[in-house]
Structure 1
Amino acid sequence: MIKFPYGISDFQRIRTDDYLYVDRTAYIPTLEDADRQLIFLRPRRFGKSLLLSMLANYYDVQTAGEFATLFGDLAIGQQPTAEHNQYLILRWDFSKVSAQGDSEQIKRNLFAHVNVAIQGFQVRYQQYLTTTSQIYADNAIASFESLCNAVQNSGHSLYLLIDEYDNFANEVLMQDVSDAQRYRELLEGEGILKTLFKIIKASASEGKISRVFITGVSPVVLSDMTSGYNVATSIYLEPRFNELCGLTQEELTPLVGQVLNECGQNIAEQASVLETLRQFYNGYRFCHRAERPLVYNPTLCFYFLRHYQRECEAPRKILDGNLAMDAGRIRYIAALPNGHGIIDQIVDDERPVMLQELESQFGVEKLREVQQDSRYMLSLLYFFGVLTIRDIGELGKLVLGVPNLVIRGLYVERLKRHALPRPQDDQLAESLAEKFYQTADLQPLVDFMESKYFAVFSNRDYCWSNELTVKTAFLTLLFNDTWYIMDSETALQRRYSDLVMIIRPSMRHYATLKDFIFEFKYLKLDDLKLTGEQLREKSVVELEAMPQVQKALQDALAQLQQYRPVLAGKYQQPERLRCLAVVALGFERVV
């Protein structure tokens, strides 16, 4: 059976304990040629730490005797570079540095982490060090300089690997966007982090450090420490490294086939499982070349496949808890001025978000612009992994979009919390939606929407509202990735204003669940020549009888008649399919 390395980023353990390893060693020569000091950014849970662990084991003098075991059957094992097993490896992981407390406390936390790493280094390489280095409890930068001198004096070379370089500084920045003082103290002037990277730069220029590889999520911290460390090459948008982290379709397909075989299931199930994985976990592109393949989130794929392996069915919860922090990133953007407007724009599929270039200067001086300028907010969401490069549009503009349904669910949840901040309203909405999934009776949910949901919209929302806005409202209330796939653009070749809810393959055994397709129409109050108060006084029967409503309903039904055969033919259960024409009259009433 495949042993999926879910949550494991220790390359040596993966290789010696027979866990699955998706080979990325073929990139080693390309990384060596790229430069001697590299910065590589990717979203959380994309395998950055495993990449660093692989590099550490490849270049470490201590693992030379294990080279055949660790790398012999991998791509690099056939043609290793001259630098393999030639370095002493120093690793820092800034995700372990607490961002709690004032700047002095954070400084102590950072110094403690650096000193602990140096102490471990001294123990590991004591036979290679002919001179000793000093540990300064109150000055880890001095400890680091002492270590660099000891390595150089011993005739060896140092490879510095830094994981999540931006983690604790980003946490400081985002804990309170209105107070950036702690962040300034960490980075500006002679801030501790900036000073540390100045020493790295100087040590590299003096030959005390031979190579540096840095990973992180965003360039927020990078721009503030650039003057202290302006010698590294950023490779995170280079097309040749698009698939350096993540899984490709070609890599995932045989894994699915093997898991199905282990479960004794027909290989015919493979297409269905792959489609579920594609809908929920695929969709990421990390370069400007549209021809480069989309990649999957590896952590979520391994979560899914490991569960399938044990239970021989897909997990009920399609999203595991590892993306909780990604929800926090969306929450951060939503808290900014116009943040909710940006999220509304992102979930509007008809008008894709476009940028000429991703913004990369996110320093504290740009903080106000991040809060006001959509270009900065959208770029930040890209680096967080909750937007991706979907295509290249006119004049080379980047077309950004939500990568998959897991991420769309995070946006929808944020919109729902904004519209229904009271837990009791949220719970009632969930109960009404659950009843709708089984009865197809939309009226109770419509009554709730009219009384609760529409109340949060301002006059500005009225000015910009249309059927897409109404669709988003229904999407927010009905989204459920436990039972449904709420995306079938390819299946229907539909217009974007439709909402399609297809029961997940693994949930189709629940006989009471229905498949749904909606067609939305929107009528402005001005066109109806009625006020909101007048509409609220009318009964549902009176609303249905209005000529404008009748015409809109008939137009919607005509379109649904075209869509129905496509879905009925695809899923072979026409008796479960319900088609609904929905007409919104402003943000007052729904028929």
Structure 2
Amino acid sequence: MEALQRLYPIGIQTFSEIREKNYLYIDKTEYVYRMTYFAKYVFLSRPRRFGKSLLTSTLHSYFSGRKDLFQGLAMERLEKEWIEYPVLHFDMSMAKHVDQERLERLLDFMLSDYERTFGLDTTAGDANLRLTRLIKCAYEKTGKKVVVLIDEYDAPLLDVVHEKENLGVLRNIMRNFYSPLKACDPYLKYVFLTGITKFSQLSIFSELNNIKNISMDEPYAAICGITEDEMLTQMKEDMERLAAKLNISPEEVLLKLKGNYDGYHFTYPSPDIYNPFSLLNAFADGKFGSYWFGSGTPTYLIKMLEKFGVEPSEVGGKTAAVEDFDAPTETMSSITPLLYQSGYITIKGYDSELGLYTLDIPNKEVRVGLMRSLLPYYVSTPTEKTNTMVAYLSRDIRNDDMDSALRRLQTFLFTIPYCDNTRYEGHYQQMFYIIFSLLGSFVDVEVRTPRGRVDVVLRTKTTLYVMELKLDKTAGEAMEQINLKNYPERFALCGLPVVKVAINFDSERCTIGEWKLQTIDKW
């Protein structure tokens, strides 16, 4: 008889449901136990779809005294008392894309629900006064201190971080709502908040200065997400099933999972962290899909990239001190903090002598998904048509047929609507960067050599392409520059044949005008 199919908690963020229905659960309860003893007010920042809500729900079950849900987990051997506390759990993810009126209405709804639970009259009034009354009432009626859990505290504000006026209005509402958390300290057992942006960044906890921020604390590096060790131990059978389905070895499965979904670090040193949402979807579907981006690319990110004038090739490859990528949103002078907290770049290394972190795009899924989101700003065409072009282009490049690839691109660009900014060379450079990134190959722009900078370098498994781009000139002039500055010399030791690619773009036709190719087999 065939074994029962493993149940993966895709989109399920309620701890009790996962445990009662025997869904896969990666045991994080030792972190939960630890974080409830060393501080009373705790804050955790992680990107979306990283398990913040499930962690908050786990805390809810723990403080509700649900010992039955923790059988077989680390918490079962750690906790001895199992006291039931009154829990006020506010999920602010319901407050996305709201204006002032809708946000106030949602807070009223949340408070009214708890007021009825504790036998209070539901009356309109200031949210902070109602929350204060609610905390005191819960304490008096139960004789136990109150636990307050606030999940995604910054959700109402993320979509308006680029709108100064709306941000101020909504921020004041939220600051007012959260303000009792300090005044009610004598009645509180524990306060936990999650979000994407750091609490200091939206200036809504100015009064609550006693929060312990564990977001970059090494002991909690793996509190959200799935480590490779957890996957190899708690998901070993899942990997074997996926390998059998795809007819590849478990080792190959691990390499593909690692390339697509691994690579996150929220402190240094840190184990490699896999995106849990993407990883579980890959096991459930039996394929390596793009899941994190499929769940929605935040509009605020695209708008902020535009606001700061960040080119696609500039998203990764950054070096920064911690205060640079942890700066307040209102005062940040670059988009780096938002990219880091949103999960589009992550920590890749640390120079302890200089105190500098290396930040880069975590993995293939994020790189490809981000580039797909940015491509419409460079190529105005229906998504299906673009995807088809990229697929055929990928085959051309895999076959080392750059001539066919450029001919395909020439035809494609000629048939799409006119794009803005096509009269400067950088537009085409960034367009190439995006398109080649979608192929999953290594691509870089403005690569330094002893005699200058190469416009685009593309490396496949079999070939390295050195590209010089010109606008309204000739391919001959582009090739002449490659030869004059001897760009290929920089890559003589790469172990691959080098192809010189000279391209001229025609700004009137908004496409490739002509090109020349020349292969160097021997040095």
Give yes or no for TM over 0.5: yes
Question: What does residue 387 of structure 1 align with?
Answer: 345
Change (3 A) 1:433 1:524: closer
CA contact (8 A) 2:149 2:191 kept: yes
Per mean C-alpha deviation after superposition, the further-off stretch among 402-411 and 441-450 is 441-450
**1:300 shift after superposition:** 0.6
- Structure 1 match to 2:357: 398
Q: How does 1:238-277 map to 2 (within 5 A)?
A: 238-254=217-233, 257-262=236-241, 265=244, 269-277=249-257
SS in 2 for 1:325: coil
The residue aligned with 2:84 is 86
Give matches, 1:32-431, under 5 Å.
32-61=36-65, 63=66, 67=67, 69-80=68-79, 82=81, 84-101=82-99, 103-119=100-116, 121-122=117-118, 132-154=119-141, 155-171=143-159, 173-174=160-161, 177=162, 179-187=163-171, 191-204=172-185, 207-219=186-198, 222-254=201-233, 257-262=236-241, 265=244, 269-287=249-267, 289=268, 291-308=269-286, 314-315=287-288, 318-320=289-291, 323-326=294-297, 328-340=299-311, 343-347=312-316, 352-363=318-329, 366=330, 369-370=331-332, 373-374=333-334, 377-393=335-351, 395-423=354-382, 426=386, 429-430=389-390
- Indicate whether 1:535 and 2:474 are aligned: yes
CA-CA distance at 1:449 after TM superposition: 5.3
Q: Which has the higher helix share?
A: 1
Q: What is the distance in 2 between the residues matched to 1:557 and 1:227?
A: 53
Aligned length, in residue pairs: 486
Q: Does the 8 Å contact 2:93/2:152 carry over to 1?
A: yes
2:262 and 2:273 in contact (8 A); partners too: yes
Task: Supply the AA of the counterpart residue of 2:112.
Answer: N
Q: Which has the higher strand share?
A: 2
Q: Which amino acid aligns with 1:286?
A: F
Aligned amino acid, residue 16 of structure 1 = E
What is the CA–CA distance in structure 1 between the aligned matches of 2:29 and 2:22, rounded to whole Å?
A: 17
Shift of 1:168: 1.1
Q: Give the secondary structure class of the aligned counterpart of 2:323.
A: coil
CA 1:442–1:198 in structure 2 vs 1: closer, same or farther (change >3 Å)? same
RMSD: 3.6
CA contact (8 A) 1:134 1:146 kept: no
Give structure 1 regions of 4+ aligned residues with deviation exceeding 6 angstroms: none
Task: Render the CA deviation track for 1:136-172: whole Å, top value 9, x for unaligned.
Answer: 245443432222222222222210111000001222x
**What letter corresponds to residue 224 of structure 1 in structure 2?**
S
Farther-moved stretch of structure 1 (213-222 vs 377-386): 213-222
Q: TM-score, length-normalised on structure 2?
A: 0.81
The 1:264–1:104 alpha-carbon spacing in structure 2 relative to 1, beyond 3 Å, is closer
Q: Output the CA distance in 1 between the equivalents of 2:97 and 2:300.
A: 16
**1:14-51, CA deviations, whole angstroms, 9 ceiling, x for partnerless residues?**
11211111111112342123310111111111111111
Residues 209, 488 of structure 1: alpha-carbon distance in 2 compared, 3 angstrom cutoff:
same
Unaligned regions of 5+ residues in structure 2, if any?
A: 445-453, 507-513, 517-523
Answer yes or no: is the 8 Å Cα contact 1:330–1:410 preserved in 2.
no
List gaps (5 residues or longer) in structure 1.
123-131, 309-313, 463-468, 490-495, 502-515, 526-531, 564-578
Q: 1:238 to 1:550 in 2, by over 3 A?
A: same
Deviation of 1:269 after TM superposition, in Å, equals 0.8
Query: Percent identity among equivalent residues?
Result: 20
| Counterpart contact for 2:136–2:187, Cα < 8 Å | yes
The separation in 1 between residues aligned to 2:42 and 2:503, in whole angstroms, is 56
Distance 1:580 1:2, change over 3 A: farther
- Check 1:282–1:534 CA distance in 2 against 1; reply closer, same or farther (3 A cut): closer
* Counterpart Cα distance in 2 of 1:500 and 1:523: 15
Structure 1 residues 24, 382: CA separation in 2 closer, same or farther (over 3 Å shift)? Answer: same
Contact 2:226–2:274 (CA under 8 A) maintained in structure 1:
yes
